[in-house]
């Protein structure tokens, strides 16, 4: 099998996987970064969202061979101490219910705030609408993104 050198959370990693292996499985199975979740496997739910060079991507449909020199960031690498403004706001608002969708939600929101630190509520809704929460925590998710935008 081919070897790929990829950069994840600031570290160079060598993985030995088939070229069509989705990044999600490289993260979870090869690198044991299990904060990124499998929901649908077909880019429809957002549970697997990570960053590639700062942009939100769905790792379940992103083949390892397409990463190249791109820098991957997962929820484990979003902040050193779990103190990204979104993570602080998430705690303040007490967002999660079961928690399964939450890393994907936060990574999508983090890409938004990196590009647009003061989004309107409509922009938040537009950006977050593709991230499904089976527990229906949408109101708290939006509130926390708005709160985080006041801390940046
Ligand atoms: S698991 Fe990737 S979008 Fe649902
Ligand atoms: S908190 Fe349960 S799926 Fe979102």
Residue 8 and residue 27 in contact, taking contact as beta carbons nearer than 8 Å: yes
Give the number of the atom of ligand 1 that is nearest the alpha carbon of residue 44: 3
Query: What domains appear along the chain, each with residue ranges and CATH number?
Result: 3-77 (3.10.20.30), 85-149 (1.10.150.120)
Render pLDDT for 13-68 as a digit per residue (tens, 0 to 9).
999 999 999 999 999 999 999 999 999 999 999 999 999 999 999 999 999 999 99
Those residues whose C-beta lies under 8 Å from the C-beta of residue 68, and which sit 6 or more positions away, are none
Directed axis angle between helix 121-128 and helix 102-115, to 10°? Answer: 130
Is the C-beta atom of 67 inside 6 A of ligand 1?
no
**Among residues 114, 106, 110, which one has the least CA distance to residue 140?**
106
Render pLDDT for 83-136 as a digit per residue (tens, 0 to 9).
999 999 999 999 999 999 999 999 999 999 999 999 999 999 999 999 999 999
State the pTM of this model: 0.98
Cα(83) to centroid(ligand 2), Å: 21
Cα(112) to centroid(ligand 1), Å: 18
Is the C-beta atom of 60 inside 6 A of ligand 1?
yes
Residue 128 and residue 145 in contact, taking contact as beta carbons nearer than 8 Å: yes
């Amino acid at each position: 099998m081919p070897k790929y050198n990829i950069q994840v959370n600031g570290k160079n990693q060598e993985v030995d996987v088939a070229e069509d292996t989705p990044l999600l499985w490289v993260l979870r199975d090869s690198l044991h970064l299990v904060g990124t979740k499998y929901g649908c496997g077909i880019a429809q739910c957002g549970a697997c969202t990570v960053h590639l060079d700062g942009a939100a991507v769905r790792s379940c449909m992103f083949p390892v061979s397409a990463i190249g020199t791109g820098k991957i960031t997962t929820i484990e690498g979003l902040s050193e101490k779990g103190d990204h403004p979104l993570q602080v706001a998430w705690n303040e608002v007490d967002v999660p219910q079961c928690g399964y969708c939450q890393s994907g939600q936060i990574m999508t929101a983090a890409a938004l705030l990196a590009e647009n630190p003061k989004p309107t509520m409509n922009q938040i809704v537009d950006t977050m609408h593709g991230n499904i929460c089976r527990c229906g925590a949408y109101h708290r998710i939006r509130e926390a993104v708005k709160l985080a935008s006041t801390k940046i």
